[in-house]
Structure 1
Amino acid sequence: MVRIADVAKMANVSTATVSRVISHTGTVKKETAEKVLEAIKKLNYQPNVLARQLRKLETKTILVVVPDIANTFFSNVLRGIESVAMKNGYQVLLGDMDNYVERENGYLYILRQRKVDGVILLAARSNQWLLEEAAKEYPIVLACEYYEGSQLPTVSIDNVSSARKATDYLINLQHTRIGHITGPLNIVVGRDRLRGFQQAMNQYNLPVDPLLVQEGNFSFESGFNLMLKFLALEKPPTAVFAANDEMAMGAIKAIKSKGFIVPKDISVIGFDDIKFASIFEPALTTIEQPTFSIGKKAMELLIELIYHHELPKVQFILEDQLIVRESCAVCLSK
């Protein structure tokens, strides 16, 4: 078996120099590095990556915890994470909570056992104090979801202002009777999007009918079923703001099933701008989250924490955008 000493002998350098070339650390002259790389190639030397990782107490692996892997919103966030991870030599493991808080705690135990170098949580469901205590010892970053007032490194959008923007758009289309299908209200993004909806309605002195605010679970099915409840009312809404795109698509399906037309009879706006939003019929007007950028920034922060670098700040709020397509129109009813 070829050893690092054999490479050093052929290149006429020290083993430390060979190690620096392999690990890309320290300063090595270009000519020297080229001699080392040539020796590695000729001898077909395979560095003992496992031994090096054990010496450094690192795994070059990070864990990403997703609340629900079936939710297509997270796919582009994961792509952003992987784009940075691969460039920096990290592998990404995926953990699916399936919306069970207990699983999140189990994944954190993997971090405590040092089986991974750090964790990115795409959900904030477990006890905030316990997570903050864990973050004092281990690299942890939150993305997409967040805790209010927390000092945990977090990457997200401003869900209150984004929901307000979506509701404003419907109001400016002259809708006054607007329904809202919320996300789960035990999750901060569900509560914040409801707050944004309420703020917009209050700003225009429009009443919020309790019957027109129904709690969903971010699934297509809940959007479909809750829209049927709206349609069963004596006076259905002329527009609906759904707290994510899957529920918005479910709502549109329910509207069509009752013989109504979107947006002629009822306008629908979603949230997230998942891939299917642009190819759904009608194409969905929605709030675009910068999902790839969220994942990219979260991984960049995690690497900084892994290398014990001080962060310039801990809360990173990225810009969202209203994407206007075909599912909303001016209200024609009086």
Structure 2
Amino acid sequence: MDIRQVAKRAKVSTATVSRVLNDSPSVREKTSAHVRNVIAEMNYVPNTHARSLRVGRARMYGLIVSDINNPFFPELIDAFEALAAQQGIDVIFMHTNYDPKRLQSCIRRMVERSVDGIAVMTSEVDLEALQMAPERVPLVLMNQPAFKDRYRNVPVEYATGFREALEHLRELGHTDIGFISGPSTLSSAKRRREEWSLAMKRLKLPVRKGWVITGDMRMEGGERAMAELMALEERPTAVLTSNDLMAVGALQAASHAGLSVPTDVSIIGFDDLPIASMVMPPLTTIQLPRREIAAYAFASLLQATRDGMVANSDVVHPTLIVRKSTAVVPPRR
């Protein structure tokens, strides 16, 4: 679909459609409204790429994250933007608030703003949203193996981090281990839960269904899930969480229940956010290197926009950071 088809449907000239798209004041308000209605009906996205080349517009990348309020993402944004600045590339970013429908809107708006490529660093991804980007706009995703044959991808291997965490707990005498998962609607949360379960089985540690509680990836969800675990007659002696925010909520819930961390219960987070070393006790956590993810995503986009090639990204490996929220298993009372 091009501008000529829009002009034909609207029964105006292509020049008029172009003026409307560029918000020219020379078009009458009634005509402008009519053309915009036709554009919406036809789901037309202006292809400004060629025009951008003619006017010499600076290159621009889009960066989409799940939640700007989640401390995981600002460091990733900062690293990505710094790399772009070194190459003279502008960056615009948006966030989805974990909503796949909002992802569609983000991609569409970035295409309309004529970005040269988009880094989709979100937990939630679906094909319908990704297809909002035309072939001329390359995409790179964060750890989305389901789409690795169709889109560039920065893979994250969770198994090593969970194995290190569980081996650490086992060395401390823990075998009764619970897990606070993120929602199964988020692909990254689903994979983290699966990898935790596989690591438990490989280490011959029992997986008890009643000790796996779903949170919402935020502190409040972690607090509610931990309160549910701690209210059980027989509760786990250690709890892993799908991210650090829920681990901080778990620390609060343990305190409210009159339990001491790590004397009464050990807690391990995931991500190693700045807050992990600031809470009391400092949080043992699985570190996910955000700057490394940003670097791989940027390199992939840069190569795609230069020569159209698919850069094979290295696998990102999380590692365990031991602090003060884990200790020897308490004696059974």
1:99 corresponds to: 98
Tell me the amino acid that sits aligned with residue 324 of structure 2: E
Helix, strand or coil for the counterpart of 2:160? helix
Structure number with greater Rg is 1
Matches within 5 A, 1:1-334: 53-55=52-54, 58-113=57-112, 115-128=114-127, 131=130, 134=133, 136-143=135-142, 145-148=143-146, 150-151=148-149, 152-313=151-312, 315-334=313-332
Distance change in 2, residues 1:59/1:124 (3 Å): farther
> Do 2:152 and 2:311's aligned partners in 1 also have CA atoms closer than 8 Å?
no
Tell me the amino acid that sits aligned with residue 328 of structure 1: T
Distance change in 2, residues 1:149/1:98 (3 Å): closer
Distance in 1 of aligned mates of 2:276 and 2:259: 20
Distance change in 2, residues 1:149/1:64 (3 Å): closer
How high is the TM-score relative to the length of structure 1?
A: 0.78
Distance in 2 of aligned mates of 1:323 and 1:205: 23
**Deviation sequence 1:177-203 (CA, Å, 0-9, x none):** 111001121222212211222122212
Unaligned runs of 5+ in 1: 1-50
Distance in 1 of aligned mates of 2:236 and 2:102: 39
Distance in 1 of aligned mates of 2:120 and 2:225: 29
> Do 1:162 and 1:193's aligned partners in 2 also have CA atoms closer than 8 Å?
no
Aligned-residue CA RMSD (Å):
2.2
Distance change in 2, residues 1:162/1:128 (3 Å): farther
Give the percent of matched residue pairs that are identical in Structure 1 and Structure 2: 32
**Deviation sequence 1:89-129 (CA, Å, 0-9, x none):** 11111111112211111122134435211111111534237
**Deviation sequence 1:245-272 (CA, Å, 0-9, x none):** 0100100111011111100100000000
**Deviation sequence 1:220-244 (CA, Å, 0-9, x none):** 0011011100111001110000110
Distance change in 2, residues 1:178/1:124 (3 Å): closer
Distance in 2 of aligned mates of 1:321 and 1:115: 38
> Do 1:162 and 1:196's aligned partners in 2 also have CA atoms closer than 8 Å?
no
> Do 1:120 and 1:298's aligned partners in 2 also have CA atoms closer than 8 Å?
yes
> Do 1:59 and 1:117's aligned partners in 2 also have CA atoms closer than 8 Å?
no
Tell me the amino acid that sits aligned with residue 325 of structure 1: R
Unaligned runs of 5+ in 2: 1-49
- Runs of 4+ residues over 6 Å off in structure 1: none
Distance change in 2, residues 1:219/1:241 (3 Å): same
- Offset at residue 295 of structure 1 (A): 0.9
> Do 1:105 and 1:126's aligned partners in 2 also have CA atoms closer than 8 Å?
no
How high is the TM-score relative to the length of structure 2?
A: 0.78
> Do 2:95 and 2:106's aligned partners in 1 also have CA atoms closer than 8 Å?
no
Distance in 2 of aligned mates of 1:176 and 1:89: 52
Distance change in 2, residues 1:281/1:115 (3 Å): same
Tell me the amino acid that sits aligned with residue 232 of structure 2: L
- Offset at residue 59 of structure 1 (A): 4.5
Distance in 2 of aligned mates of 1:318 and 1:56: 39
